[in-house]
Structure 1
Amino acid sequence: MQLEQKFIENKKKKRKIIILLFLIALGLFIVTFSFFRTVHEKRTLPSLKGEKSELAVRGNIVSEDNFNLVSSKKVYKAGLDTRYLNPEKKELFLKLFSIYSGMDYQELEKKIKDAEKSPGYVVLSYNIDSRAAKNLKELDIKLNQLNVFIPRKGGSLSLIRRLEISESGEKRTFSYDDTLTPVLGYNSKFESKDGKTKVNGVKGLERIYNNNLNDSKDGVLKGFRDVISYIYFDKNSIMSHSIDGYSLNLNIPLKLQKNNETTLDIHKKRTHADEILLTIMESHTGKIISMASSNRFNPEKIKQSDIPYLNVNAVEYQFEPGSVIKPLSISLAMDKGLIRKNEYFSAYNQSSVKGAYPIGKFTIKDDHAFPKGNISLDDVVIFSSNIGTLQIAQRLSGPEFYEGMKKFGFTQKTGIDLPYEKKGVMPKLWQFSVGDKQKRDNIYKATVSFGQGMTSTFIQLIKAYSVFNNDGKMVTPQIVSFLSRDGKKYESPYFQAPEQVISKETALEMKRMLIKTVTDGTGRSARIDGLEIGGKTGTAQIAGGTGYLKKYISSFIGFVNDEKGNSYTIGVTVINPLPVRPHYYAAQSAVPVFKEIIQNLIKLNYLYPKEDIISEN
């Protein structure tokens, strides 16, 4: 009986041992199978440590009303080692990859065929966007389940190299085609040290703020890899997030800019001009709220015909400004107390040639006829008298006149945040080859006082005219309001404080005469009821290599104010309008553009005419 009981107990023990051994064997089989399956599905063999980078991109350019005008998008590279592509499933791969990537099927097929001549790794595309990259990573898993990838002949059975998707660089995107060009500028590509595609600014804001926009740092994750080769994060890992470049936040709102560009396009057709330039600047701050040209281009698709449009002519083109210089010349004499109150000046009607002022071998004439023998200071400004202006300028010494114009900002850059700005040319006294010093001084002042024999840029005129609408203080034009990153704001490095150029009294007196020029003089067609508008017309011939051409530049530089305190300095320059009288005169070419720009400001609530204020109350 005892022997039988022992036999039964031994039998139970053996059964338990067999079951235990079976379970252990089953467990080992499952672990081993899982391990080999994991290794089989991996595209690379696992390593103990790993490193992964996260690409940082160039900063954005953002309008005042928070529209992304320019941004950078990450682009991805898709590659494949053709030795791991199952020949029987190649057609399936081509079709699915073409659908998921958006790549042309024939182009893809050709790349695979060319790669198969010399089997190995081939890049299928360098320009995959983030959405397509995500889809392709999901496709890679599906393709592997469908046995599209197989171990290569003669290789390790445990290694399969599948579809590889990785960051290849960045692509600069201009969201609104040609809007705000050429001010925004354009870019060129380059390859960074780690082989990623990056961009550098070539022109415009992209150029002058290039270092700020590109001040970025890639993110890094360093740590141990798990069994499927993914880097996992623990206390020993090192992780830093990517830091993109600084964004530029502009003073320019998108909606106003587009409205103004449409206006310039219409008037370019009307005037048959080569180009029309416009700038609107806050008179008290220097903030530019619109800078437009009729000649624009798409920075992502620059054509051969766009090459003449790539320069920012508002700061790069130098020209003789003509009569818009007269208020500046007269202000210099006024500021030194060289003009008596209620003084009159000779119209030179008593000479043998009516309305002509002889100076050396030159004769200066006026376009406007003055029937009386004398003209008032108001008439000199309102009706743009050359003869009156040069008589006033003669009261200054040559050095006084030169230094005064220099103080108004000529012969130097304005400080605007755009690259390649020109200074213009202000001749010095000794450059006038006249034997007698007095005659030389007189000719110099006479010529330059009404904007001939000198050159300036469009933006220099805008800056100079800001003094008349800002109590004699001159502001520096600024396109960028501030730089930003991670929710923090940083002041633009190009900001400058206003500078007192002439006295407040002189500025207010010239402002009064410029307003009268619009109500009674050459700028009459700029009038809009309920607003304070002033300005000066200027028409000058374009100088060529051997003299003056039968081409003209017409400008109207002025200001507009409302009773709510909105105050803007505005300039319009029309380059080479139809050269037939009177179409090329500023009154017919530039002033109508100026008026329509003010109407755009009213329509978009940047200005409130007096009637509107009354109706609101």
Structure 2
Amino acid sequence: MSSKLNENDNKIKKIVILFFFILFLIIILIVSVYFTINKDRNLPSLEISKKELSVRGEIISADNFKITTSKKIYKASIDSRYLDKNKKELFIKLFSIYSNIPYKKVEEKVNESFSNPGYLVLSYNIDSKTAKNLNELGFKLRKLGVFKARKVDGGRVLRGLSIVESGEKRIYSYEDTLTPVVGYIRKYESENGKTKVKGIKGLERKFDDLLNNSKDGVLSGNRDVLSYISFNKDSTIKKRVDGANLVLNIPLKLQKNNESILDRYKQKLGAEEIIVSVMDSKTGEILSLASSNRFNPERIFQKDIPSLNVNAIEYQYEPGSVIKPVAIALVLDKNRVKKDELFFAHNTKGKPNQKGEYPKGRYKLDRFSIKDDHRFKKHYLTLDDIFIFSSNIGTLQLAQRLSGPEFFEGMKRFGFTRKTGIDLPYEKVGVMPKVWQFSANDKEKEDNVFKATVSYGQGMTSTFMQVMKAYSIFNNGGKSVTPKIVSHIEVDNEKFKKDILEGERIIKESTANEIKRMLVKTVEKGTGRAAQVEGLEIGGKTGTAQIARGGKYLKKYISSFFGFVNDGNNTYTIGVTVVDPISTGQYWYYHYAAWSAVPVFKEIVNNLVKLNYLTPKKDIISEK
């Protein structure tokens, strides 16, 4: 009996010992798991969020070429403390091959980092394709053991090659094309540390808010066992929205052809700059706005600084004789000229030359003596003579028939001293005498110096685009239009376009048609003869003015030709301004518009024909 009790006691003891042993093992396992979870494993949070960086909008030509666009750039980095020293050479070689960064440049950075181990950025400017390749390289490097795990806070951590979005880069696909109109940008660091850009000049500046009106994409949710986002009703999905796109009225091919013409003539004429614009006379759509002075927005050098401004709207100068049609139009619109009226040429002093031409006329005005450049075979001039042969004396006599307020308000109505409304920033307005200066001597019915000089484009300043807008009035039945470079704006694939409003009436249609007739006659018989192209209706006016600085006239000139070309269906206003062409030596005559601006005008017209913007008609033949 007692032996059986002892046997039972032994069994119970063994069971108790086994129980406590198993319990001990369980406690050790629990403790081990606890410390593994909290220290060694460093398990990530259950929640995960990823951002997709949005970029600035694009600028697109009328023929659907991307003039400028933004691309995401990526940052490649490592922590040199995790890089195996024995496999450093292998890493440098592979990274150089995959990134297209020179071996020596990578080697220099890595070696420098080894002297002070830690976080190392190998490049901030990795494109998306290279970033994808480098991500694949990172996986291979881990398999090859190029990076080693290190103990951090009691746990083991492995950090390899890191490729993350770092911002955006502005790309100008056609380099200097359409500059300075397209403008340029400046980089800055956003609040989240990403590289962003903002517009400084040109279209980039004017539409900066729209181009940068973007939203990053967001994906967030719970992490699954493979560290991917597990999507459910609690997940967040926000689509990436890039900035608005600007679609221009300017076709790339037309613009590049025009720029090529200007480059050639700048060299031939020895000019400081040549500016050209082509505008639809009825809608104001700018088909081309070109300068011979351009720059690459991605690489701006010290020499490019004078070319950064859009001189078509920012350079103010005395326009010269191209203003005469405006002054004459104001007089005609007030019915101050009688039919078949004759005007004294003030050329009776002296004898005619062998051609029967009288000396150039001279008109005494206050303490000034105004003269004409053209010799006439008669003493009295018709309105057509004054217009076609650009008589200063005839034009100033016409201008005196307007009161000071009539002249002043008329010039303002044509757009002088006012912005044209073109969609570019920093537009200048020019200067003109005050209304009271034009009004002096009104009561005495005496000549006014300010009306006289402004009537032939001196004593005032304007911009190239102001003259363009004024001339479009003559080719649009007396109504003005607003110059427009941007056709429409695209926001998240939705198109937004302003309605084309009917232009403001500036002069009567009959007045516009009369000026237009005389502009055509000027091309047929006057200083614009070299602009003729058979089968097209072409009219225009030359103007040559001295450049004034510091209150003095320099021996430098600005030569212009503004006019229009029509084929029966299309109507274009075209302006050409040549700044400081050769005015001395063998080619001294290049400073006259007939030898500089007019030939450029004709080439622009021929270019429009070549690219099918104009179709010459057989029944429209210019008079030779």
**TM-score calculated relative to the size of structure 2:** 0.89
**8 Å Cα contact 1:45-1:159 kept in structure 2:** no
**8 Å Cα contact 1:476-1:497 kept in structure 2:** no
Select the residue among 594, 606, 615 that pairs with 1:608: 615
SS at match of 2:198: strand
**8 Å Cα contact 1:553-1:573 kept in structure 2:** yes
Give the CA deviation at 1:154. Answer: 5.8
Q: Residues 349, 441 of structure 1: CA spacing in aligned structure 2 closer, same or farther, 3 A cutoff?
A: closer
**8 Å Cα contact 2:404-2:438 kept in structure 1:** no
Paired residues for 1:512-523 under 5 Å: 512-523=517-528
SS at match of 2:430: coil
Give the CA deviation at 1:509. Answer: 0.6
Measure, in 2, the Cα distance between the counterparts of 1:378 and 1:435: 28
Give CA-to-partner distance per residue, 1:312-349, whole Å, 9 cap, x none.
Answer: 00000000000000000000010011111221111112
Give the CA deviation at 1:229. Answer: 2.7
RMSD: 2.2
Q: Which amino acid aligns with 1:572?
A: V
**8 Å Cα contact 1:46-1:227 kept in structure 2:** no
Name 2:572's counterpart in structure 1.
568
Q: Which moved more, 1:457-466 or 1:75-84?
A: 75-84
Measure, in 2, the Cα distance between the counterparts of 1:529 and 1:590: 19
Name 2:221's counterpart in structure 1.
223
Structure 1 unaligned blocks of 5 or more: 1-35
State whether structure 2 residue 589 is matched by structure 1 residue 585. Answer: no
- The runs of 4+ residues in structure 1 deviating greater than 6 Å are 432-437
**8 Å Cα contact 2:468-2:575 kept in structure 1:** yes
Name 1:503's counterpart in structure 2.
508
**8 Å Cα contact 1:221-1:237 kept in structure 2:** yes
Q: Residues 500, 432 of structure 1: CA spacing in aligned structure 2 closer, same or farther, 3 A cutoff?
A: closer
Give the CA deviation at 1:155. Answer: 5.9
Measure, in 2, the Cα distance between the counterparts of 1:76 and 1:157: 30
Q: Which amino acid aligns with 1:477?
A: P
Name 2:231's counterpart in structure 1.
233
Name 1:8's counterpart in structure 2.
none
Q: Which amino acid aligns with 1:112?
A: V
**8 Å Cα contact 1:433-1:440 kept in structure 2:** no
Give the CA deviation at 1:45. Answer: 4.5
Q: Residues 115, 357 of structure 1: CA spacing in aligned structure 2 closer, same or farther, 3 A cutoff?
A: same
**8 Å Cα contact 2:438-2:451 kept in structure 1:** no
Paired residues for 1:341-380 under 5 Å: 341-350=339-348, 355-380=361-386
**8 Å Cα contact 2:77-2:119 kept in structure 1:** yes
Structure 2 unaligned blocks of 5 or more: 1-35, 351-358
Paired residues for 1:159-174 under 5 Å: 159-174=157-172
Name 1:51's counterpart in structure 2.
49
Select the residue among 404, 412, 434 that pairs with 1:406: 412
SS at match of 1:58: coil
Q: Residues 101, 51 of structure 1: CA spacing in aligned structure 2 closer, same or farther, 3 A cutoff?
A: same
SS at match of 1:500: coil
**8 Å Cα contact 2:180-2:308 kept in structure 1:** yes
Measure, in 1, the Cα distance between the counterparts of 2:399 and 2:440: 18
Measure, in 2, the Cα distance between the counterparts of 1:345 and 1:471: 27
State whether structure 2 residue 463 is matched by structure 1 residue 445. Answer: no
Measure, in 2, the Cα distance between the counterparts of 1:168 and 1:578: 50
Give the CA deviation at 1:90. Answer: 1.3
Measure, in 2, the Cα distance between the counterparts of 1:78 and 1:490: 39
Measure, in 2, the Cα distance between the counterparts of 1:427 and 1:496: 31
State whether structure 2 residue 390 is matched by structure 1 residue 392. Answer: no
Measure, in 2, the Cα distance between the counterparts of 1:298 and 1:577: 25
Give the CA deviation at 1:116. Answer: 2.2
Q: Which amino acid aligns with 2:455?
A: S
Q: Which amino acid aligns with 1:550?
A: K
SS at match of 2:284: coil
Measure, in 2, the Cα distance between the counterparts of 1:303 and 1:427: 39
Give the CA deviation at 1:492. Answer: 5.2
**8 Å Cα contact 2:422-2:483 kept in structure 1:** yes
Measure, in 2, the Cα distance between the counterparts of 1:78 and 1:556: 55
SS at match of 2:230: coil
SS at match of 1:583: helix
Q: Which moved more, 1:435-444 or 1:255-264?
A: 435-444
Measure, in 1, the Cα distance between the counterparts of 2:415 and 2:264: 32
Give the CA deviation at 1:226. Answer: 2.0
Q: Residues 108, 354 of structure 1: CA spacing in aligned structure 2 closer, same or farther, 3 A cutoff?
A: closer
Give the CA deviation at 1:436. Answer: 9.2
Give the CA deviation at 1:357. Answer: 1.0
Name 1:537's counterpart in structure 2.
542
Q: Residues 441, 164 of structure 1: CA spacing in aligned structure 2 closer, same or farther, 3 A cutoff?
A: farther
Measure, in 1, the Cα distance between the counterparts of 2:443 and 2:81: 88
Measure, in 2, the Cα distance between the counterparts of 1:349 and 1:448: 22
Name 2:556's counterpart in structure 1.
551
Q: Residues 433, 602 of structure 1: CA spacing in aligned structure 2 closer, same or farther, 3 A cutoff?
A: closer
Measure, in 1, the Cα distance between the counterparts of 2:119 and 2:444: 82
Name 2:88's counterpart in structure 1.
90
Give CA-to-partner distance per residue, 1:357-391, whole Å, 9 cap, x none.
Answer: 11111111110111211111111111001011011
Give the CA deviation at 1:233. Answer: 2.1
**8 Å Cα contact 1:515-1:532 kept in structure 2:** yes
Give CA-to-partner distance per residue, 1:559-581, whole Å, 9 cap, x none.
Answer: 00002x11100000000001134
Name 1:490's counterpart in structure 2.
496
Measure, in 1, the Cα distance between the counterparts of 2:582 and 2:493: 50
State whether structure 2 residue 135 is matched by structure 1 residue 137. Answer: yes
Name 2:260's counterpart in structure 1.
262
Provide the aligned length of Structure 1 versus Structure 2: 574
SS at match of 1:610: coil
Name 2:119's counterpart in structure 1.
121
Q: Residues 462, 435 of structure 1: CA spacing in aligned structure 2 closer, same or farther, 3 A cutoff?
A: closer
Name 1:299's counterpart in structure 2.
297
Q: Residues 354, 253 of structure 1: CA spacing in aligned structure 2 closer, same or farther, 3 A cutoff?
A: closer
SS at match of 1:582: helix
Name 1:189's counterpart in structure 2.
187
Q: Which amino acid aligns with 1:120?
A: G
Q: Which moved more, 1:68-77 or 1:116-125?
A: 116-125
State whether structure 2 residue 244 is matched by structure 1 residue 246. Answer: yes
**8 Å Cα contact 1:111-1:124 kept in structure 2:** yes
Q: Residues 473, 432 of structure 1: CA spacing in aligned structure 2 closer, same or farther, 3 A cutoff?
A: closer
Measure, in 2, the Cα distance between the counterparts of 1:404 and 1:431: 15
Measure, in 2, the Cα distance between the counterparts of 1:434 and 1:248: 49
Give CA-to-partner distance per residue, 1:436-487, whole Å, 9 cap, x none.
Answer: 9758861111010000000000000000101110000111100000001232
Select the residue among 580, 590, 603 that pairs with 1:596: 603
**8 Å Cα contact 2:176-2:294 kept in structure 1:** yes
Q: Residues 97, 365 of structure 1: CA spacing in aligned structure 2 closer, same or farther, 3 A cutoff?
A: same
Give the CA deviation at 1:350. Answer: 3.2
Measure, in 2, the Cα distance between the counterparts of 1:441 and 1:102: 75
State whether structure 2 residue 467 is matched by structure 1 residue 461. Answer: yes
Give the CA deviation at 1:159. Answer: 2.4
Select the residue among 477, 480, 491 that pairs with 1:471: 477
Q: Which amino acid aligns with 2:574?
A: I
**TM-score calculated relative to the size of structure 1:** 0.90
Q: Residues 45, 68 of structure 1: CA spacing in aligned structure 2 closer, same or farther, 3 A cutoff?
A: farther
**8 Å Cα contact 2:534-2:620 kept in structure 1:** no
Q: Residues 324, 154 of structure 1: CA spacing in aligned structure 2 closer, same or farther, 3 A cutoff?
A: closer
Give the CA deviation at 1:429. Answer: 4.5
Paired residues for 1:286-325 under 5 Å: 286-325=284-323
SS at match of 1:110: helix
Q: Residues 603, 478 of structure 1: CA spacing in aligned structure 2 closer, same or farther, 3 A cutoff?
A: same
Select the residue among 60, 63, 66 that pairs with 1:65: 63
**8 Å Cα contact 1:257-1:292 kept in structure 2:** yes
Q: Residues 146, 469 of structure 1: CA spacing in aligned structure 2 closer, same or farther, 3 A cutoff?
A: same
Name 2:331's counterpart in structure 1.
333
